[in-house]
Structure 1
Amino acid sequence: MFPERVVSGMRPTGALHLGHYHGALKNWVRLQNEYPCLFFVADWHALTTHYDSVEVIEPNTWEMLVDWLAAGIDPQQSVLFIQSRVPEHAELHLLLSMCTPLGWLERVPTYKDQQEKLTERDLSTYGFLGYPLLQAADILLYRAAWVPVGEDQVPHIEFTREVARRFNHLFGREAGFEDKAREAVKKLGSKRARLYSELRTRYQEQGDDEALQQGRALLEDSQNIGQGDRERLFGWLEGSRRIILSEPQALLTEASRMPGIDGQKMSKSYGNSIAMREDPASVTKKIRTMPTDPARVRRTDPGEPERCPVWQLHQVYSDDATREWVVKGCRSAGIGCLDCKQPVIDAVIAEQQQFHERAQPYLDDPGLLRNIVADGCDQARKFAIETMREVREVMGLSHG
């Protein structure tokens, strides 16, 4: 129905670490070769929990964007933009808030979870309660087909789907919908109109899913109908109303296996992270001082890789031959812990070398980055304006 767009965003937390790269950015780089992608800095979302420390938002935004480009996000393939530069995000959030039940927001799993975890922050604000709806607006504004998320974020996508479904149910009840749909069928041309009607009958009377897919493909290929008629015919094909906001699907990403230097999940708040663009000497020092198997008190004591945080890094960075060398050498005390760490140090520094090289042009000339973002904001706004024109129309706000 709509282009198979991918939409994803991140709060501006400043310089990103290797957990961010292996957990999200690596996947974004792959997706940009498969789909039209929009990636945005969720600066309004930063205010939901950090409205009292706004001075960090702007520098963190630019720092994070440099890391995206360093990771290999290509502005020729992906649209990069800043959420607050596209005011339609706020408008759609406001309009959706008019018809979203309060109970839906209160039952989002992360709502109570974050209240329990972030006890040092005042989260008794509407902004914090409403952030899942702002997140839904971020996605629905671009009629995204796919949203790359980890398993813990799937409930947010399900919530977004419910919001879209309710909106379409409430506002897809267009006056004279069936008459308009019949008129739209005629615009397909006699041959396509006949085929559309046959496929619609097969799907609605026999539940033939293949007929539904063929009908959708037929409409996507039809060049002589406008977007409004196309949406009506999609809705009529399925036996529903006009589809204004499309329901996105979660695109599950593998959980990052990137441990911090203490073996816990890598996180700035744990103080155990390695930045994507860290100085090689600092990387070397951090990995060299990592804890290892506590059973290896002396160099001559045999160890067990499964008990060692460094082994988790080998799982990410080393090939089969190196891992075999580690297992054999550790269990026989044939290699020391510093020997074991060296291949990881070499691999991390080699990976970071690419990040440094890709980032340097933007560090030398910050204007390049600002131009990329300005272009991205313009492109994102075109999509957003198109969606909001239809949303305002069905909500009685076009006042043309």
Structure 2
Amino acid sequence: MSENLETRPVILTGDRPTGPLHLGHYAGSLKNRVALQHTHKQYLLLADCQALTDNAGDPEKVRRNVLEVALDYLAAGIDPEATTIAVQSALPALAELGQLYLNFVSVARLERNPTIKAEIRQRGFGRELPAGFLCYPVAQAADITGFKANVVPVGEDQIPMIEQTVEIVRRVNRQSGRALLPEPEALVPPVGRLPGIDGAAKMSKSTGNAIPLSASQEDIRQAVRRMYTDPGHLRASDPGKVEGNVVFTYLDAFSDDAEGVAELKVRYRRGGLGDMKVKGHLEEILQRLVWPIRQRRAEFAKDPGEVVSILRAGTEKAREITEATMEEVRSALGLFRWA
């Protein structure tokens, strides 16, 4: 069994703990992580240091949500026996790797990263851009290479981050004269980024347009009722638009009956199918999905000390792995050694 585990591809993924996870996280990555933990050697990183790049004024928010996100992982089906869950700030080797990698990338290259450019615009930083945020791709490269990950599950908009990691890996490998670090590949899930229930391009915890994995039955009911549909679909008899209709986007993401959803789309486009009917169908699906997650989360939440123990054990394991990588990189780059 151990030999089989050692030959599995290594996956690194994780989240910034800035709030509980929501259905967008589940569809985009968490559901996939639950499956991948049985076929890969998987590490989940609670990226609290990276969360500080735009939350430095509220570190308590980040600290508090480390446990909240860990609860969401466990509730969704992450098995700590199969997946190592670690806290980033307790892995100093990652910070040291990031510091070294900063010498292998220019400010101009960081500023050209499409993902970073888009997120800088979204947050409206202007000249008040935190240096840590600009260097986010380098920190992420340190995380990925610290675990020698072969595969990194990301959304399509995050592919430039993996490309920049590959650039850094190639420069480090060229400098060291050997294939010291593996070049990671992006694994893009079949479900793209879910829009918010208000039709906004991004589901966000901060804007209140998300459905948390811990949502109550009433929370889910109210969220579905508020979902953006087709503003021109005033009566059930009117032909409606499926494109841009959040309800159908969620049905595509969460329904196991693709043929049934396709039939609903035909009826909606033709006219004769009301929004409340479609929303009622979606609500049933989401209630069935979230109920067991919510129940498991409540059970884990009864013993936060056990959750902390899981994080401590995973972090200790991750520390050994990342420090070994750091020693290899330090030696390969010819840095001074005291011993």
Q: What's the TM-score once normalised by structure 2's chain length?
A: 0.88
Whether the 8 Å CA contact 2:42–2:83 is kept in 1: the answer is: yes
SS at match of 1:268: coil
Per the alignment, residue 392 of structure 1 pairs with 330
Question: Are 2:303 and 1:365 aligned?
Answer: yes
Please list, as runs of the form range in 1=range in 2, the aligned pairs for 1:337-352 lying within 5 A after superposition.
337-352=275-290
Whether the 8 Å CA contact 1:150–1:254 is kept in 2: the answer is: no
Residue type of the partner of 1:365? Answer: D
Question: Please, which of 74, 77, 89 is the counterpart of residue 79 of structure 2?
Answer: 74
In 2, distance between residues paired with 1:71 and 1:165?
36
In 2, distance between residues paired with 1:250 and 1:314?
26
Number of equivalenced pairs? 331
Question: Are 2:95 and 1:87 aligned?
Answer: no
Pairwise CA distance, 1:333: 5.2
Please list, as runs of the form range in 1=range in 2, the aligned pairs for 1:16-95 lying within 5 A after superposition.
16-95=21-100
SS at match of 1:273: coil
Per-residue Cα deviation, 1:20-77 (whole angstroms, up to 9, x for no partner): 1101111211211211001101111111122122120111111111111122111111
Question: Please, which of 9, 17, 39 is the counterpart of residue 14 of structure 2?
Answer: 9
Pairwise CA distance, 1:320: 3.9
Per the alignment, residue 158 of structure 2 pairs with 153
In 2, distance between residues paired with 1:307 and 1:393?
53
Computed over aligned residues only, the root mean square deviation of the Cα atoms, in angstroms, reads 2.4
Pairwise CA distance, 1:262: 2.2
Per-residue Cα deviation, 1:134-180 (whole angstroms, up to 9, x for no partner): 1111111111111112222222212112212211222x2xxxxxxxx
Question: Are 2:198 and 1:262 aligned?
Answer: yes
Per-residue Cα deviation, 1:178-210 (whole angstroms, up to 9, x for no partner): xxxxxxxxxxxxxxxxxxxxxxxxxxxxxxxxx
Residue type of the partner of 1:33? Answer: H
Structure 2, unaligned stretches of length 5 or more? 1-5
Per the alignment, residue 283 of structure 1 pairs with 220
In 2, distance between residues paired with 1:375 and 1:9?
17
In 1, distance between residues paired with 2:43 and 2:192?
22
Question: Are 2:233 and 1:316 aligned?
Answer: no
Pairwise CA distance, 1:321: 5.2
In 2, distance between residues paired with 1:306 and 1:124?
36
In 1, distance between residues paired with 2:112 and 2:270?
53
Per the alignment, residue 294 of structure 2 pairs with 356
Whether the 8 Å CA contact 1:11–1:43 is kept in 2: the answer is: yes
In 2, distance between residues paired with 1:93 and 1:108?
17
In 2, distance between residues paired with 1:309 and 1:70?
26
The alpha-carbon distance between structure 1 residues 125 and 303, as it changes in their structure 2 partners (threshold 3 A), is closer
Residue type of the partner of 1:363? Answer: A
Whether the 8 Å CA contact 1:3–1:145 is kept in 2: the answer is: no
Q: Which moved more, 1:120-129 or 1:139-148?
A: 120-129
The alpha-carbon distance between structure 1 residues 347 and 84, as it changes in their structure 2 partners (threshold 3 A), is same
Pairwise CA distance, 1:391: 2.1
Pairwise CA distance, 1:264: 3.0
The alpha-carbon distance between structure 1 residues 53 and 122, as it changes in their structure 2 partners (threshold 3 A), is farther
In 2, distance between residues paired with 1:79 and 1:48?
24
Per the alignment, residue 216 of structure 1 pairs with none
Residue type of the partner of 1:260? Answer: G
The alpha-carbon distance between structure 1 residues 280 and 132, as it changes in their structure 2 partners (threshold 3 A), is same
Per the alignment, residue 246 of structure 1 pairs with 182
Residue type of the partner of 1:246? Answer: P
Q: Which moved more, 1:347-356 or 1:88-97?
A: 88-97
Q: Which moved more, 1:302-311 or 1:128-137?
A: 302-311
Question: Please, which of 135, 142, 150 is the counterpart of residue 140 of structure 2?
Answer: 135
Pairwise CA distance, 1:274: 1.0
SS at match of 1:52: coil
SS at match of 1:15: coil
Pairwise CA distance, 1:331: 5.1
Q: What's the TM-score once normalised by structure 1's chain length?
A: 0.76
Whether the 8 Å CA contact 1:154–1:250 is kept in 2: the answer is: yes
Whether the 8 Å CA contact 1:115–1:123 is kept in 2: the answer is: no
Please list, as runs of the form range in 1=range in 2, the aligned pairs for 1:99-114 lying within 5 A after superposition.
99-114=104-119
In 1, distance between residues paired with 2:232 and 2:110?
48
Whether the 8 Å CA contact 2:20–2:72 is kept in 1: the answer is: yes
Structure 1, unaligned stretches of length 5 or more? 173-240
Question: Are 2:173 and 1:168 aligned?
Answer: yes
SS at match of 1:48: coil
In 2, distance between residues paired with 1:3 and 1:30?
14
Per-residue Cα deviation, 1:66-94 (whole angstroms, up to 9, x for no partner): 11112211111110011001111111112
The alpha-carbon distance between structure 1 residues 112 and 340, as it changes in their structure 2 partners (threshold 3 A), is closer
